[in-house]
Amino acid sequence: MVKYGYYYAGALLAGGALLTYLAGWPYGVPFYILAVFCLNFFRDPERHAPPGPVAVSPADGKVVAVAPGAGGASRVSIFLNVFDVHVNRSPIAGKIACINYKKGEFLAANKAAASQANEQNILTVEGVVGGRRTQVTFNQIAGLIARRIVCYRHVGDIVQAGERVGLIKFGSRVDVLFGPEWEVTVKPGDRVAAGSSVIARMAALENAEGDPA
């Protein structure tokens, strides 16, 4: 459980108890329901990244887009609804090379325009996967309801694949940017779990003649 869940749930339970005392239990029920919702929202289950030259999902949710980029790059977009776990995790092991917070709008996170327009926190992890140096960038993107991005890490921190790096409160989106050395293994409509679902695999090396190494 993320600590914020206890804070929100505690405040709501206290408010519900006060209303129950002053006006009767029916008035406190909405507060109790919201308290249970907060405890569910801020849950933080243990996850284990699979071995091998892979990248895991940084977020729970539904893949809403897999889009090609310049130079053979790819972008995977994951939408988190309010019932998904909102703790974000590193896709690969390595060092956090860059963190950039970008102010922006608060469009609905399931819209394609949110990738560029919305407020977001951009993290880049550099590491060695399958014997190859690589980097993966992922964006914690605020949504229509989610307006609070939390990042636990700092530039220079060493992280493991699937390690917790932050969270986004109350519905959001995470975009993952892969270079041409990666092969995306998910498609739109797939459900993924942060820290355990493989979303990309390191492509096979090719030698100078163009044959697989």
Residues marked active site are found at: 172
Rounded Cα distance between 69 and 4, Å, is 37
List the one residue out of 2, 141, 147 whose CA is nearest residue 79.
141
Tell me if 162 sits within 8 A of 85, measured CB to CB.
no
What's at 110, amino acid-wise?
A: N
Please, how many CA atoms are within 13 Å of residue 144, restricted to the half-sphere of its CB?
9
**Left (φ > 0), alpha (ψ -120 to 50) or beta: where does 14 sit?**
alpha
Residue written as tokens 């408010």? 15
Question: What is residue 196's DSSP assignment?
Answer: T
Query: Is 209 in a helix, a strand, or coil?
Result: coil
Rounded Cα distance between 71 and 68, Å, is 9
| 63 token code pair | 């893949």
